[in-house]
Amino acid sequence: MFTDFKTLAENLPCGLVIADKKLNIEFVNDFALKKILDLPGDTRPSNFGDYTFYTTDMRRFDMDNCMRSMVETGKRTFHKTLLVKSGNQEKLVYFSVNTFVRKGEKDLYLFNITDISDEMDCITHSPGTFGRGEYLIRKKIIGNDQKMQEIYRMISLAADSEVNVMIQGESGTGKELVADAIHELSERKNGPLVKVNCSAFSETLLESELFGHVKGSFTGAYKDKPGKFEMANGGTIFLDEIGEINQSIQVKLLRVIQEKTIERVGDNKSVKVDMRIIAATNKNLRGLIKKDIFREDLFYRLNVFNILMPSLRDRHLDIPLLADYFIEKINDQTGKNVKGLSRDALKLMMEYPWPGNIRELQNAIEHAFVLVNGNIIEVNDLPVELKNRTSSGPLPDTGRQNLSASLYYAESFRNRHSGRLTINREQLEGVLEMHDFNQTKTAEFLGISRVALWKKMKKFGM
């Protein structure tokens, strides 16, 4: 019987895992290992709980908790749509658990994990559905602000087309993340994504980096070398800090775009290349054009589709969300168990102008992790730029209600961890407004059921 089961299990086109209630794996089929739980290297955890799944709203799925509640309630099945990273892909899976109770033996749990990514692909961009593409973007690019919603929309549109994209925005606003997302969601996703930081090379080196060279074409060119354009063939090339390239390379770049061919330095043979260009800059290119530093014709060729990244201070309601995201991420990396920021620390973070944007915020949290004593980050754990701010000026462009809502955001993260939910009418209004009065989203955000939300609203006479 068991050999029959094995044959069956190995031939099913879905992942099967059998584990006990502590999640110790007793059986796992090949499909699960190779197609769904494909971790880098030879990592093969023997406990199923060591595989990380995410819920579709980007939170880590708590498998231990799921098991505990099944055991406690005696519930025999559980189903959920989850995300899992497999190899270098994200998969959307239908995850179900079934208990089999056996007399005189320990109960076992059968996990069935079916890859439904392709099914979701078909509806990714149809209006009104929350497709896989969006899951992917939102899992990595955090932000609820309206300005970020617009960025998500732009990413989908850019991914659906083949035109060149220009991403502008201050340093640390996530330009590179956006470029990654566009590539990953585009038809070229199986091709290479090649990145070049144009400010990192001298003139000659940048030229050979981009176009390649033949042996002996300049001192140091010991052998033939293909350039990044050739390497990006069939995929996408990301030209970061495009505002830094000099006039002679600008002319060459224009030619690449127009003729779709390149010549290696020192060679006169032209090579066909097929790639989509995504460029990024924190410079004001129109200003550079006025000063004759950047070619206008090149600008228009690159700027077919423009994405302007908002600075963090223009979407400061996302600060708690980002802080929470980085805390969870660093907890994962370090095995620490930081629960959140103290109210005062968060208030400081909300009021700080973040000139280095999200990169600076990430650094601040990393800094705090080094100093934190206990599991709440306090004002003293923050970098000196933040904690030494004496006057906390008014927050940019937001009304009182928004401020209250944003502080509520902050509180709610802490409350969620401790399981309390306290909210006043003004705060609830703020949170509802932030979710466009969508009750489902509001309830989800607050971590309560829709009925509970409805009861609260009724209590406040809303």
Residues of the shown chain interacting with ligand ADP in the complex, contacts defined by CB under 6 A: 141-143, 169, 171-177, 358-359, 362
Min dist. Cβ of residue 290 to ligand ADP (A): 24
Nearer to Mg ion, 176 or 263 (CB): 176
* Type and span of the H or E element at 340: strand 340-341
Considering CB distances under 5 to 8 angstroms, the limit depending on partner class, which of ligand ADP, Mg ion, none binds residue 50?
none
Place of tokens 């392709």: 118
Nearer to ligand ADP, 225 or 283 (CB): 283
Considering CB distances under 5 to 8 angstroms, the limit depending on partner class, which of ligand ADP, Mg ion, none binds residue 120?
none
The residues in 226-265 that bind Mg ion, with binding defined as CB under 5 A, are none
Nearer to Mg ion, 176 or 267 (CB): 176
Considering CB distances under 5 to 8 angstroms, the limit depending on partner class, which of Mg ion, ligand ADP, none binds residue 362?
ligand ADP
* Closest-CA residue to 118 (of 89, 155, 153): 89
Q: Exposure string (b/e) for 251-279, b if CB count within 10 Å is 16 or more?
A: ebbeebeeeeebbbbbbeeebebebbbbb
Establish if 359 lies at the interface with Mg ion (CB under 5 A).
no
Min dist. Cβ of residue 318 to ligand ADP (A): 8
* Closest-CA residue to 442 (of 427, 459, 420): 427
Give the single-character DSSP code of 315: G
Min dist. Cβ of residue 201 to ligand ADP (A): 17
Contact 15, 114 (CB under 8 A): yes
Min dist. Cβ of residue 175 to ligand ADP (A): 3
Nearer to ligand ADP, 171 or 402 (CB): 171
Establish if 282 lies at the interface with Mg ion (CB under 5 A).
no
Position 398: which residue type? T
Place of tokens 């033949």: 214
Min dist. Cβ of residue 66 to Mg ion (A): 38
Position 320: which residue type? P
Nearer to ligand ADP, 145 or 267 (CB): 145
The residues in 158-187 that bind Mg ion, with binding defined as CB under 5 A, are 176
Q: What count of other Cβ atoms lies within 10 Å of the Cβ of residue 318?
A: 22
Considering CB distances under 5 to 8 angstroms, the limit depending on partner class, which of ligand ADP, Mg ion, none binds residue 133?
none
* CA–CA distance, 277 with 301 (Å, rounded to integer): 10
* CA–CA distance, 191 with 91 (Å, rounded to integer): 18
Min dist. Cβ of residue 362 to ligand ADP (A): 5
Min dist. Cβ of residue 348 to ligand ADP (A): 20
Considering CB distances under 5 to 8 angstroms, the limit depending on partner class, which of Mg ion, ligand ADP, none binds residue 161?
none
Min dist. Cβ of residue 162 to ligand ADP (A): 23
Give the single-character DSSP code of 311: P
CA atoms in the 13 A half-sphere facing the CB of 242: 30
Contact 304, 278 (CB under 8 A): no
**Distance between alpha carbon 93 and the CA centroid of its chain, in Å?**
18
Collapsed DSSP state (helix, strand, coil) of residue 24: strand
Nearer to ligand ADP, 141 or 214 (CB): 141
Nearer to ligand ADP, 9 or 178 (CB): 178
Nearer to ligand ADP, 97 or 179 (CB): 179
* CA–CA distance, 251 with 247 (Å, rounded to integer): 6
Min dist. Cβ of residue 238 to ligand ADP (A): 10
Considering CB distances under 5 to 8 angstroms, the limit depending on partner class, which of Mg ion, ligand ADP, none binds residue 181?
none
Give the single-character DSSP code of 265: B
Considering CB distances under 5 to 8 angstroms, the limit depending on partner class, which of Mg ion, ligand ADP, none binds residue 185?
none
Give the single-character DSSP code of 33: I
Binding site for Mg ion (CB under 5 A): 176
